[in-house]
Chains A and B, each alone.
Chain A
């Protein structure tokens, strides 16, 4: 089956620094990837849609200058949390769309900002 990886799985950073999270589709090409944020005991909230070769589309209320998304190739999308603050601490999950109405999810990245 389709496999999506994320790196790193966990990251701790200091307030004010930037963190980059990678999302890769390992055995298929994904023209579209999605980035979600999951708070403890809550659902996944879609942050943005990442399309290869074009600008990401952000959901309402998501700061595009804070959460920079780059989809440089058909197998890689990156999310950079810029000038991170403790309230950005969360579980970030990516998914890759295969073109058959199915999304395959990565294992997630736990970000802790101290």
Chain B
């Protein structure tokens, strides 16, 4: 069965700092990749997704992620974080042809300090 690893469980940054959250998956076939965000008290929202094509994908709110197939990675980045980015971030994987099921990573709690 596939698994998703997020190595950073808690990240604390100051405003304007750059962000990179790691995500690695274990699955040998073709995958669709997602990053979701959960703001305090709110439901999960899609930040960005990768299905095929350009491995550098841009999402909402200035986030981007790069798919590196050789490393089985899909790291999330933002050049300059804001206090409002404080949230929990989840990486998720869906094997192509896997019935649209998502396997989630354990999540990274990001706190941005003023």
Binding site for B on A (CB under 8 A): 4, 32, 34, 42-46, 49, 93, 95, 97, 101-108
Contacts and interface: CB of A to CB of B under 8 A. Distances in A.
B11 interface: no
Q: How large is the interface on B (under 10, 10 to 19, 20 to 34, 35 or more residues)?
A: 20 to 34
Contacts of A32: 100
Contacts, number: 43
A34 B101 CA distance: 8
B103 A108 contact: no
Interface of B: 32, 36, 42-46, 49, 51, 90, 94, 99-107
Nearest to B109: A41
B94 A43 contact: no
A102 B51 CA distance: 11
A102 B49 contact: yes
Q: Which of B44, B45, B46 has the most CB of A within 10 A?
A: B44
Contacts of A43: 90, 104-107
